[in-house]
Structure 1
Amino acid sequence: MASALTDKLSRLVKELRGQARITESNVSDMLREVRMALLEADVALPVVRDFIARVKEKSLGEDVLGSLQPGQVLVSIVSKELAATMGEGVSDINLAAQPPAVILMAGLQGAGKTTTTAKLAKHLIEKRKKKVLTVSGDVYRPAAIEQLKTVTAQAGAQWFPSTPDQKPVDIGLAALDYAKKHFFDVLLVDTAGRLAIDEALMAEIKGLHAALNPVETLFVVDAMQGQDAANTARAFKDALPLTGIILTKTDGDSRGGAALSVRQITGAPIKFAGTSEKLDGLEVFDAERHAGRILGMGDILALVEQVTAGVNMEAAQKLAAKVKTGGGFDLNDFLAQIQQMKQMGGLSSLMDKMPAAVAAKAGQVDMDRAERDIKRKEGIIQSMTPLERRKPELIKATRKRRIAAGSGVQVQEVNRMLKEFEQMQDMMKKMKGGGMMKMMKRLGGMKGMPKMPF
């Protein structure tokens, strides 16, 4: 999870908190470290200079020098200025237009525009309850048109066909006409990218923008590009009236650099961040929460949102009622818990939002191995008969050998999984009589959340 920027800044945070007295000298030392951390994270030099100047001005003010806990005040200043650099708060997508609201997706080839278009469609359908149509204006890559068709279907939106022999402006106008006649709320237009900035690309996208007059023109940029992201952002800003930015691949190692650069260079707010390759891996960008992640403070709110979204409340309530009335906890229930863990994005995705100190401890355990172990448990249970899942006590030596062969593991693995199941079963027996609901209420208000088999 932690990039070099996160590591360096979180270490500085610890040092600053321990400062009994802040002077111009140790502020300068601290800022030198911050400057190096930002430059190494590929943040654009003008952005670094401006950030350091703002932090220095506020760090040498009376509020810090006269504070009883100056180190904590300094950490707060760094956090606030990081958030300010990326655009304070949350900037929602603008759909205030006569339907259909047209959203134009711009960016270089390889930034993830096509997948991001489908992710945004899914977000608008699920979170904003909109009827969404997508269309591809990338006439140079027939594969891109087919890719958009596939991911649009997966997102639950509708796709408007286009062919390589058409002109992008004609495609856009035909899709807009179709969207109006069929009462779509939003039209998402995926555009052609290039491996580098060129005049033909810019002329084409300018023409498309003029013809469609989109309510949102979103610049899709790869967060791992670092300094290059700043250069492409500047070029697109000069060509188009950008209204927002979508950062993709923020789960990569270079997190921080692009987010700090593109906002200041374009003047456009970062509206979304791509957090995984999955179609639900798109988060509304919150500058303050992202600053917390960069400083190693984690994003507990995002963690709670991810867990809550992944929990099947109805199934969990049924399990609680079953245990309370004396029904046995069987292997079907155990399997359901394992599958809920997978729906939450897995262990590594959850750990990514933990504070750095917690994640560092967890990092001592091989997360990939833990994820493989969860999949292995699932495979073992799925190799059992329905009767064996309902009555695990039937599983003796012969059945264990058959289950092991069916799931591709050793018999010892089956024994280990059954032992873990028995431990969970014993715990569930103790929960009988309302104890389980009390446990659920203690889980941060997430009622109905079962204990996960880590």
Structure 2
Amino acid sequence: MFDNLSDKLDKAFHVLKGHGKITDVNVADTLKEVRRALLDADVNFKIAKDFTTRVRDKAIGQNVLTTLQPGQLMVKLVKDELTELMGGDAAGINLSGNPTVILMSGLQGSGKTTFSGKLANYLKTKKNKKPLLVACDIYRPAAINQLQVVGGQIGVEVYTEEGNRNPVEIAQNAVKHAKANGFNVVIVDTAGRLAVDEEMMTEIANVHKAIEPQETLFVVDSMTGQDAVNTAKAFNDRLNFDGVILTKLDGDTRGGAAITIKSVVNKPIKFIGTGEKMEAIDVFYPVRMAERILGMGDVVSLVERAQEQYDEEEARRLQKKIAKNEFGFDDFLSQIQQVKKMGNMKDLVGMIPGAGKALKDVEIEDDAFKHIEAIIHSMTPGERSKPAVLDAKRKMRVAKGSGTSIQQVNQLLKQFDQMSKMMKMMQGGGGKNLMRMMGGMKGGMPQP
């Protein structure tokens, strides 16, 4: 996510390395590189120019704080300006109304149908809502079937009217169906086109007028860069939507849309899509995104994801097993599954301060645990519970069954033994203090 932009901004800040103070000359050189980095990320020229002008005005004449070097101060100023450019504070979703009606808009291929499912899943699991998905795309082949597949994956009902070619009627009838059957959120997936056209705009405007949604969201593919910003403006001129959804941020995006869309349409980015799974949806926090772009990581989001998978009863069970030296590979496998639920590995690594930069040339696959899982699954139940019984003959069988080498099996056993010893040590005062700290954090994370 934003790897190229992060690298170029990092190089720009190196201009100030070794300088004792900020001057007109060195700040001009630094900001010239910052502006180039933004333009390469597909940020509009005027926005990039205004951005660097604001940073320069704040930097010139400032006394560098005793705890900061000029380069560090410049990073802080750029972070603050990026945060403001992307919206400042996080924007919540309006869940008023009975039911809450959410209208999804966007071009074909932006990920609108998939994100409708992700949003339904988010509201169901995180907000304890009962959502209804509505298929109003009557043009794209298999669009209705796609929404039904998505609904089936997350256990959410999909409202359809086979043969009805009037999206306004379908949407109105869906809202009536929701009221009669206890649904408190209605998510209407509308038709998209390959480009903005008058017919599409008129149709979605008519649907909007008929159902009067509490939220109208514009879904945009962040990979399309500045074109996404221009499309958003066209939609906003007709729909006056309430917020933006950025999809495919897990790809090799240049970042221009995320950085500039708020300043162009003056509407907040509310959610981002960070992967293909139905759980790959995050609330958009401008300050956290700015920190990630500048290589500072995003520890708050990382801890929040960990807490979503945190099971107190499971933690207590594991604690007892560790204390009795009974922690086995089945328990280890369970922990791997919890980590995998947190999101794709590259995204998680990017949340650790400094890790993204340190591992920028290392390819982190989403199936990073594949070989470990294969080795564990090739063990017998007895071997998983008591790894010490794995002799040379058993190791050979496990390696053959998992498609790995003896060396890989030995390496896993060695790492597992080291981890078990460390976990045993953590059962002392340090471990209890850590558990208490995590329990306190679970009660509520600080918001930016």
Deviates more, 1:430-439 or 1:209-218: 430-439
Q: What residue number does 1:127 align with?
A: 126
Contact map agreement 1:299 1:354 (CA 8 A) in 2: yes
Q: What residue number does 1:174 align with?
A: 173
Contact map agreement 1:142 1:164 (CA 8 A) in 2: no
Shift of 1:115: 0.9
Shift of 1:327: 4.3
- Letter of the 2:333 partner, please give it: L
Q: Describe the shift of the 1:156–1:192 C-alpha distance in structure 2 as closer, same or farther (beyond 3 A).
A: same
Shift of 1:160: 0.8
| Distance in structure 2 (CA, Å) of the matches to 1:292 and 1:327 | 41
Shift of 1:251: 1.8
Q: What residue number does 1:89 align with?
A: 89
Contact map agreement 2:15 2:29 (CA 8 A) in 1: no
Q: Does residue 1:421 correspond to 2:416, yes or no?
A: yes
- Letter of the 2:94 partner, please give it: N
Shift of 1:359: 2.0
| Distance in structure 2 (CA, Å) of the matches to 1:301 and 1:17 | 29
Q: What residue number does 2:446 align with?
A: none
Shift of 1:227: 1.3
Deviates more, 1:435-444 or 1:145-154: 435-444
Q: Describe the shift of the 1:45–1:379 C-alpha distance in structure 2 as closer, same or farther (beyond 3 A).
A: same
Q: Describe the shift of the 1:143–1:2 C-alpha distance in structure 2 as closer, same or farther (beyond 3 A).
A: same
| Distance in structure 2 (CA, Å) of the matches to 1:431 and 1:230 | 50
Q: What residue number does 2:404 align with?
A: 409
Deviates more, 1:328-337 or 1:113-122: 328-337
- Letter of the 1:280 partner, please give it: E
Deviation by residue 1:121-180 (Cα, 9 ceiling, x = unmatched): 111112222111111111012411111112123233221123364211111111011011
Q: Does residue 1:283 correspond to 2:282, yes or no?
A: yes
Q: Describe the shift of the 1:26–1:416 C-alpha distance in structure 2 as closer, same or farther (beyond 3 A).
A: closer
| Distance in structure 1 (CA, Å) of the matches to 2:49 and 2:386 | 67
Deviation by residue 1:31-50 (Cα, 9 ceiling, x = unmatched): 22121111110112332233
Secondary structure at 2:133 match in 1: strand
Q: Describe the shift of the 1:119–1:24 C-alpha distance in structure 2 as closer, same or farther (beyond 3 A).
A: same
Deviation by residue 1:159-217 (Cα, 9 ceiling, x = unmatched): 11233642111111110110111222111011111111111111111111111111111
| Distance in structure 2 (CA, Å) of the matches to 1:290 and 1:388 | 44
Shift of 1:304: 1.3
Matches within 5 A, 1:33-52: 33-52=33-52
Q: What residue number does 1:318 align with?
A: 317
Contact map agreement 1:133 1:179 (CA 8 A) in 2: yes
Q: What residue number does 2:342 align with?
A: 344
Q: Which runs of 5+ in 1 are unaligned?
A: 448-454
Shift of 1:234: 1.4
- Letter of the 2:410 partner, please give it: N
Q: Describe the shift of the 1:276–1:74 C-alpha distance in structure 2 as closer, same or farther (beyond 3 A).
A: same
Q: Describe the shift of the 1:164–1:241 C-alpha distance in structure 2 as closer, same or farther (beyond 3 A).
A: farther
Q: What residue number does 2:370 align with?
A: 375
| Distance in structure 1 (CA, Å) of the matches to 2:34 and 2:427 | 54
Shift of 1:433: 5.7
Q: Describe the shift of the 1:27–1:414 C-alpha distance in structure 2 as closer, same or farther (beyond 3 A).
A: closer
Matches within 5 A, 1:221-260: 221-260=220-259
- Letter of the 2:99 partner, please give it: P
Shift of 1:17: 6.5
Between the two proteins, the alignment pairs up a number of residues equal to 440
Q: 1:399 aligns with which of 386, 394, 401?
A: 394
Q: Describe the shift of the 1:123–1:255 C-alpha distance in structure 2 as closer, same or farther (beyond 3 A).
A: farther
Matches within 5 A, 1:433-452: 436-438=431-433, 440=435
Q: Describe the shift of the 1:440–1:137 C-alpha distance in structure 2 as closer, same or farther (beyond 3 A).
A: same
| Distance in structure 2 (CA, Å) of the matches to 1:57 and 1:38 | 18
Q: Describe the shift of the 1:319–1:67 C-alpha distance in structure 2 as closer, same or farther (beyond 3 A).
A: closer
Q: What residue number does 1:359 align with?
A: 356
Q: What residue number does 1:450 align with?
A: none
Deviates more, 1:405-414 or 1:68-77: 68-77
- Letter of the 2:92 partner, please give it: D
Contact map agreement 1:9 1:296 (CA 8 A) in 2: no
Contact map agreement 2:164 2:170 (CA 8 A) in 1: no
Deviation by residue 1:367-394 (Cα, 9 ceiling, x = unmatched): 23xx656221211211222222223333
Deviation by residue 1:221-277 (Cα, 9 ceiling, x = unmatched): 111111111210111111111110011111222243101221111111111111111
Q: What residue number does 2:55 align with?
A: 55
Contact map agreement 2:15 2:30 (CA 8 A) in 1: no
Contact map agreement 1:273 1:283 (CA 8 A) in 2: yes
Q: Describe the shift of the 1:428–1:241 C-alpha distance in structure 2 as closer, same or farther (beyond 3 A).
A: closer
| Distance in structure 1 (CA, Å) of the matches to 2:396 and 2:385 | 19
Matches within 5 A, 1:101-116: 101-116=100-115
- Letter of the 2:23 partner, please give it: T
- Letter of the 1:109 partner, please give it: Q
Q: Describe the shift of the 1:33–1:280 C-alpha distance in structure 2 as closer, same or farther (beyond 3 A).
A: same
| Distance in structure 1 (CA, Å) of the matches to 2:220 and 2:298 | 22
Q: Percent identity?
A: 47
After superposition, the CA RMSD in angstroms is 2.5
- Letter of the 1:150 partner, please give it: V
- Letter of the 1:381 partner, please give it: I
Q: Describe the shift of the 1:418–1:181 C-alpha distance in structure 2 as closer, same or farther (beyond 3 A).
A: same
| Distance in structure 2 (CA, Å) of the matches to 1:430 and 1:74 | 42
Q: What residue number does 1:198 align with?
A: 197
- Letter of the 1:76 partner, please give it: K
Deviation by residue 1:38-82 (Cα, 9 ceiling, x = unmatched): 11101123322332333233333x4x2576655444332221211
| Distance in structure 1 (CA, Å) of the matches to 2:344 and 2:49 | 39
- Letter of the 2:373 partner, please give it: E
Q: Which runs of 5+ in 2 are unaligned?
A: 443-448
Q: What residue number does 2:31 align with?
A: 31
- Letter of the 1:172 partner, please give it: A
Q: Describe the shift of the 1:433–1:244 C-alpha distance in structure 2 as closer, same or farther (beyond 3 A).
A: closer
Q: Describe the shift of the 1:362–1:86 C-alpha distance in structure 2 as closer, same or farther (beyond 3 A).
A: same
Contact map agreement 1:335 1:378 (CA 8 A) in 2: yes
Q: What residue number does 1:209 align with?
A: 208
| Distance in structure 2 (CA, Å) of the matches to 1:59 and 1:428 | 47
